Structure 1
């Protein structure tokens, strides 16, 4: 059976041992269906090697256990922290401990850079690299219940033991191909702590707004900010405060009193009384009283009036050829929207920076300027310089 760490002393001893190795693999199990913030239920970790003590389960729900030794390890610059699809795990650790593990290696990102396709899953990498089956039957079990079943423990441990072989393989592939710096570019946003901070005043930007009127957007901004703050304070899903369709209804009907609010068709019963109802009415009034100079506006879309459809088609051919040549998923290099931007004369974007510029951006700009053409050569497409 796996070793389960339930005391701070045991965790500190393991982390002290981990501080002397080049990398650790990490994963978590959590619940989020009934809360705003994820409830951390389990942390799995493994060290390089195959010894029985090299992989452990850490129980953050154990009485008296502090995760401070783990957070200290996460700050250790000499130990690489290896995750697969790390974003949700990193958000949890940032909220729980105020730390973003670094240096970081995300095997999902590395796999995309190494040509395994777009958003490749862990199970696929285990099958292709570790050559092992993976039992996912415990994936959606209740991780907050104790004791953990043997099946849950085996499932959780597999998420970090196979990850060692995957990490070592992908690290070698990145080094051989000279793409380690590509990986570092991709990890920049993941390790940016600000990306895990949700500002209530910015919450309106996630709404699928049907009306772009700045006056109505001011109401939407206030309602969304109130909902976000209330959800954070009560640690419940924002939809438990106010669903999106009900929020849109309030933006349209603009209830200025509790009597007006009571006429809403879509409000949950809990939102028709008490502090929630009062907060919603106050938010609507704040939105209506927002001076015109402070009205929010939706970002303007790209000007596509100059879009050259023939050039857009050529860019799609070029992208496909470059993706096949480099062994990187086309979607990771540039989106369909990016190609339309380029065909409209746009000369900057993520596609035009860093490794993407090396792989695709330079030739895209040359095609835009008429300095290269595309030629079919058997099943391949190659670029051909165009003379002055």
Structure 2
């Protein structure tokens, strides 16, 4: 493999302009993520079928030509297992690659599990064994070794023949439109921005709390998210999730009780007094501003039987289509549909995945009767 390392803006403009002349460009990213909220971008790999370009985001002044390529709707952007790549693009460019195709999704429509890795598919379809020994490289360190660069280049070099093979099979199977819909669905989910006022709903065991306690948790978790975004620090490195829950559950309002509750030294020293002040704000809040208790699907008496019935239907559909059941209907998607039916009263603005897009034809008729209370 021959590749170019792009460290200057003029060179970047040139390779991006060339890439905009082809129908599809192969993309991948390398990054590290330890204590930060957002991934730290270390390398971007691009292959237009002629040139492999390794873009160095640490050396480059800016990446505007590349962001423009991502937005060029005349060029398909091809990735594999793209969820974290999409998160990176959305954070740095403010948008998603459009249009985008994920070969992991293509493979799922061809009968593979959604978790099937790139190396396994390259081995099966191209009879090439990829060396994955550099997977845990610090991609933000410089200089990168020749072996690291070759590893990165291989991820886009072999992506092109894999994409071409999958495209032919997908066309023959009649899944082209469904693949596009699934890729757009993934991009829309990865592009969603967390609502600070709703992140408390994702805190483990939040359902155990009463309305006032939930109001405290909402206040604290909203502050934590904003602090994490401001400092680009992983949420639990601001304050551990469990400690927010403890403050809400046990009405902790002093540094002494925080210490007794297991808060670490850094949490107490940097944020202890502020967390207490936020909790006291909620103490002075009228009851009318408390959140409603969290409804759990498992508490509905017909939950287990309904899930079982949906699973039976999913397995039947999957068998008929030659697709693994968990790709057609994941546990999260089943729960999304049950919440829509039982908690959100079938709100038309919250149509679940199983009743929209390509899945609608297979699930609407059989699922709606199962959702009646």
- Which secondary structure state, in structure 2, belongs to the residue aligned with residue 128 of structure 1? helix
The farther-off stretch of 208-217 and 151-160 is 208-217
Q: Does 1:217 align with 2:196?
A: no
| Alignment match, 1:45 | 46
Q: Give the number of the structure whose alpha-carbon radius of gyration is greater.
A: 1
Q: Give the structure with the larger helix fraction.
A: 2
Instruction: Say if 1:339 and 1:7 are closer, same or farther in 2 by CA, change over 3 A.
Output: closer
| Alignment match, 2:362 | 359
Aligned residue among 64, 67, 71 for 1:71 = 67
Task: After TM superposition, give the deviation of residue 230 of structure 1 in Å.
Answer: 1.5
Give me the whole-angstrom Cα distance separating, in 2, the residues matched to 1:76 and 1:241.
38
Give me the whole-angstrom Cα distance separating, in 2, the residues matched to 1:101 and 1:165.
20
Instruction: Say if 1:231 and 1:357 are closer, same or farther in 2 by CA, change over 3 A.
Output: closer
Instruction: Say if 1:150 and 1:289 are closer, same or farther in 2 by CA, change over 3 A.
Output: same
**Deviations for 1:230-287, whole angstroms, at most 9, x for unmatched residues?**
12212222212211222222122323344554x433112112124x223211221223
Give me the whole-angstrom Cα distance separating, in 2, the residues matched to 1:214 and 1:195.
30
Task: After TM superposition, give the deviation of residue 88 of structure 1 in Å.
Answer: 1.1
- TM-score, scaled relative to structure 1: 0.83
Q: Does 1:103 align with 2:91?
A: no
Q: Does 1:300 align with 2:295?
A: yes
The farther-off stretch of 139-148 and 163-172 is 163-172
- Which secondary structure state, in structure 1, belongs to the residue aligned with residue 197 of structure 2? helix
- Conserved in 1, the CA contact under 8 Å of 2:96 and 2:191? no
Instruction: Trace 1:1-388 onto structure 2 (pairs within 5 A).
Output: 2-48=3-49, 51=50, 54-62=51-59, 64-192=60-188, 195-209=191-205, 211-258=208-255, 260-261=257-258, 263-274=259-270, 276-302=271-297, 304-306=300-302, 309=305, 316-335=311-330, 338=334, 349-363=352-366
Give me the whole-angstrom Cα distance separating, in 1, the residues matched to 2:219 and 2:111.
44
Instruction: Say if 1:269 and 1:154 are closer, same or farther in 2 by CA, change over 3 A.
Output: same
Instruction: Say if 1:304 and 1:202 are closer, same or farther in 2 by CA, change over 3 A.
Output: closer
| Alignment match, 1:372 | none
Task: Give the gaps of 5 or more residues in structure 2.
Answer: none
Task: Give the gaps of 5 or more residues in structure 1.
Answer: 370-388
**Deviations for 1:338-366, whole angstroms, at most 9, x for unmatched residues?**
49988xx9898533333223335435568
Instruction: Say if 1:42 and 1:282 are closer, same or farther in 2 by CA, change over 3 A.
Output: same
- Which secondary structure state, in structure 1, belongs to the residue aligned with residue 198 of structure 2? helix
Query: RMSD of aligned C-alpha atoms?
Result: 2.9
